[in-house]
Structure 1
Amino acid sequence: MHCLFYLGRACILPLIAPSSGSTLLGISSIFTMYEGVLYSVGLPMALIALLREETHDQLLKASHTDYLTGLGNRRWFFEEAERHIHNTRADADIFLLAFDLDHFKAINDRFGHAAGDEVLKLFAGFARGIVGPDTILARIGGEEFAALVSCKSDADASAVAQAVVSGFAEIVIDRSKGLGIKATVSIGLAQLSRDGNDLAELLLAADAALYRAKVSGRNRIEPAQPSAEGLGNVLPARTRKYRATLP
C-alpha cells in the first residue's frame, strides 16, 4: 500500500496539479506526511507481530516434539489421535499399533545410554519409513511408540506391523571397536470399533496385546482379543499408567 500510494502520487499528481493549483499540492503534502507517519509506525508493529507468531509456532512445535527422535511426543499423540478418531467416518478402518523395543534396558546396560539413544533414533526413522509420512506416529514413553494407521483391512494392518518387526530385526547398528547391536520390537495391534470405541479403550486393548507379544517370546505381533478387558488384573501397572495419563 505504501508503494502504491507513492506510485499513484508520482504518476497522477503531475497531471492534475497544473489545473488544480496550490490547494491540491497542500492537501497532497498533508496526506503524504500522515501516510509516512502511519507507515513508519505500522511497519515495525507488523514485523513484531510476525516475529511473535513465528516464535509461538516454534515453541508450539517444540512442545509437541520428542527431542531425541524428532517424532511427536505423548501429548501430541493424544491430541492428534483423538482428533483423528473424532473426524473419522464410522466405516473407516483405523488401527492402533503399540510398539515396545525388546530388552531395551539390557542394551543400555551393555552398550551404554548413547547406544540406546541410537537404537531409539534408528527405530523412529525406520518406523516412519514403513508407516508413511502422514501417519500419526509418536514416542509415548522411554522405549514405547504408538502409531495410528488407516488400512483397508486387518490383513493390511498386520502386513504393516510385520514389515516393522521383520525389517527392524535385520538391522545391525554398528558401534566402535567392532561391536554390533541388534534390537527387535514387539507390537500390539488393535482396531477402532472392534477393540475399542475411543482412544482410551484402543490403547488398553493394544497394550494388552503388546503384553502377550512380550510374554510369548517378543519380536512378534499380537492382535487384540475381545477378552482384553479381562487382562486388567494381569497388567495392573501398565493399564494404570495409560489410564492415568489419558487426557
Structure 2
Amino acid sequence: MLDVVTLRVAFGLVAVGVLVLFYGVTYRSTRSAYSGWWCGSLAFFIVSALLFLLNGTAVQVVANPLGNTAGTLGAACVWAGARSLREREVRWWQLALLPAVVLVVSLLDDPSHDVWAGGVAYLFCMAALIGGSAWELVRLLRTQRPAGSAREQFRFAVSSMAIVSGVIGGFYFARDVVFVAAGPDSAVFRIGFGSQVTTLLTMLLLVVVTFSMSALSHEQQTTELRRQATRDGLTGLLNRRAFLEVAERQLNQARVTRHAAILVADLDRFKSINDGSGHAAGDRALVAFADACRSVVGQQGIVSRLGGDEFALLTLGGPAEEIVAEIAARYSAGAGETDPPTASFGIAAVLPHDDVALALARADQALYEAKDGGRARAVRHDDGSASGIDGRRSA
C-alpha cells in the first residue's frame, strides 16, 4: 500500500482539480449554495492535508491542531451543502461549534509530541458532520420530488451521496471507537482504520460528488428560480398567481370544512407612511403585517401578498373574525412603530360552488366596504355586516 504522504499528496492534487472544476464550471454557472459549500469544503480539506504533511516537523505543535480544525470545517461545509438542498438556513455558529471544540481539545492534548492530539474529538466530530449530511440527504429524498425526466437523475444523485456519506460517517465513528479502545498504534487501527484507508475513502467521496454535483446544483438552481417566481421578494409570501393555484388545491382537499374563508387585507393610508416616513418604514410595516398573518394562520391556511399593501389569506382553521382580531393584535405588537398604519379586512366564506377567484372577488368587495365604512374594520360579504377594530390597539 502507498505511504501516507504519497496518498495525501495525491488526494490534495485530486481535490485541487475538483475544486477548480466545481468553481469554474458549476458554481460560476449556477451560483447554487450546494456547489458553493462544496468549494469551501474542498478548500478546507486541501488545507488540512497540507497541514498534516507538517507532522513530525518543528511546526507540528501548530500545524496539527489547525489541520484537525480545517478538516472539521471541511466536514461542516459538507453538512451545510446537504442542508442547503433542503432550503434550510445554516447559521455561522452551527458551522463553527464543532471545529472550535476540535481546535481547543487538540491544543490541550500535547500536539508538539503527539500527531494524534485531539484525535478522539476530531474523529467524533467528523463522524457527526458527515453522518449528519447523509441524514439531511435522506430527508431530502423523502420530501423533494422533481417533476419530469430530472426526477430519476436527481434521486440517483442524492441516493449515491447519501450512501457514500453514511458509509464514511460510519467509518469515522468506528475509527473513533477503535481509537479509544485499542489506540492509534494498534494493528487493528493501523490496518483497518489508518490514514491510508481514510484517504482512499475520502477520494471515493470526491468521485461521487463530482458525478452528482451537476444534477444537484442545477436542481437547486431550478428550485430557487421557481421560488422567486412564486414568492414576494420582500415578505417571502406567495404572490397572486401562486396563491390562486395553491389555495385551489387546498380547498379541493378540505372542501368540507365549515370555516374555510378568503380574507383580503389592506393597510390603511399606507401611501402616507411611504411619503411621510420613507419607503423603509413602509417596508417594515409590510413585513410586520406579513409576519403577523403567517404566525396566526400557520399550517391552517395560506398567506400571500397580492401586491402593494394588499394581502390575501385562505383560512381553514377557525372563525375568520377571530383570526382577523388575532392578526390585528399581533401586528400592532410587532410593528415596532409608535403609530403603525391600521388594517382593514374583507371576509368571504368559501361556498360549496365557489372557486378561489369567486371568493376572492367577494372578499375584495367586502374590503372596499370596510374602507368606505371608516377603515380599521372588518366586513363580511356574506351578510354585509361590519365589525369595528380599534386600529391603535389591535390593528
- TM-score tier, shorter chain, comes to 0.5 to 0.7
Letter of the structure 1 residue corresponding to residue 286 of structure 2? L
Distance 1:172 1:41 in 2: 51
Change (3 A) 1:100 1:46: same
Indicate if the aligned counterparts of 1:99 and 1:185 stay in contact, CA closer than 8 A: yes
**In 1, are the aligned partners of 2:264 and 2:346 still within 8 Å (CA)?**
yes
> Which amino acid letter does the alignment assign opposite residue 190 of structure 1?
A
Give the equivalent residue in structure 1 for 2:76: none
Rounded Cα–Cα distance in structure 1 between residues aligned with 2:301 and 2:354: 20
Pairing of 1:36-185 with structure 2 (within 5 A): 44-133=210-299, 135-152=301-318, 156-169=319-332, 173-174=336-337, 180-185=338-343
**Aligned partners of 1:172, 1:147: CA distance in 2, in Å?**
19
Q: Give the TM-score normalised by the residue count of structure 1.
A: 0.66
Partner Cα distance (2:212, 2:334) in 1:
51
1:201 aligns with 2:367: no
| Cα distance per residue 1:164-184 (max 9 Å; x no partner) | 23443455534xxxxx34211
Residues 107 and 115 of structure 1 are in contact (CA less than 8 Å); yes or no, is this contact kept in structure 2? yes
Is the CA contact (8 Å cut-off) linking 2:264 and 2:310 kept in structure 1? yes
Check conservation: 1:206, 1:224, Cα contact below 8 A: yes
Identify, as 1 or 2, the structure richer in strand.
1
Q: How many positions carry a matched residue from both structures?
A: 183
The C-alpha deviation readout for 1:85-117, integer Å capped at 9, x for no partner, is 222234553111111000001111111111111
Note if contact 1:165-1:219 (Cα within 8 Å) is conserved in structure 2.
no
Equivalent in the alignment of 2:130: none
Between structures 1 and 2, the one with greater helix share: 2
The verdict on how the C-alpha distance between 1:52 and 1:134 changes in structure 2, with shifts beyond 3 A counting, is farther
Q: Find the aligned partners of 1:106 and 1:43 in 2 and give their Cα distance.
A: 54
C-alpha deviations, 1:137-172, integer Å up to 9, x for none? 0101100001101035xxx22111122234434555
1:219 to 1:186, Cα distance in 2 relative to 1, 3 A? same
Distance 1:92 1:100 in 2: 25
Distance 1:101 1:84, change over 3 A: same
Q: C-alpha deviations, 1:195-237, integer Å up to 9, x for none?
A: x61111101110111111111111111111368xxxxxxxxxx
Unaligned runs of 5+ in 2: 1-159, 165-204, 385-395
Q: Secondary structure at the residue paired with 1:145?
A: strand
Partner of residue 31, structure 1: none
Aligned match of 1:210: 367
Task: Say which SS state the counterpart of residue 173 (structure 1) adopts.
Answer: coil
Deviation of 1:49 (Å)? 1.2
CA RMSD of aligned residues (A): 2.7
Does 103-112 or 57-66 show the bigger shift?
Answer: 57-66
Counterpart secondary structure, 2:232? coil
Distance of aligned partners of 1:199 and 1:89 in 2 relative to their CA distance in 1, 3 Å threshold: closer
Shift of 1:122: 1.0
Identical pairs, percent: 36
Give the superposition deviation at 1:119. Answer: 0.7
Aligned CA distance change for structure 1 residues 171 and 46 (closer, same or farther; 3 Å):
closer
CA distance in structure 2 between the partners assigned to 1:44 and 1:166 by the alignment: 52
Instruction: Give the gaps of 5 or more residues in structure 1.
Output: 4-38, 175-179, 228-247
Deviations 1:22-79 (A, max 9, x none): xxxxxxxxxxxxxxxxx99986443211221111111111211111111111222111
- Give the Cα separation in 2 of the matches to 1:111 and 1:43: 51
Check conservation: 1:165, 1:220, Cα contact below 8 A: no
Contact 1:81-1:148 at 8 Å conserved across structures: yes
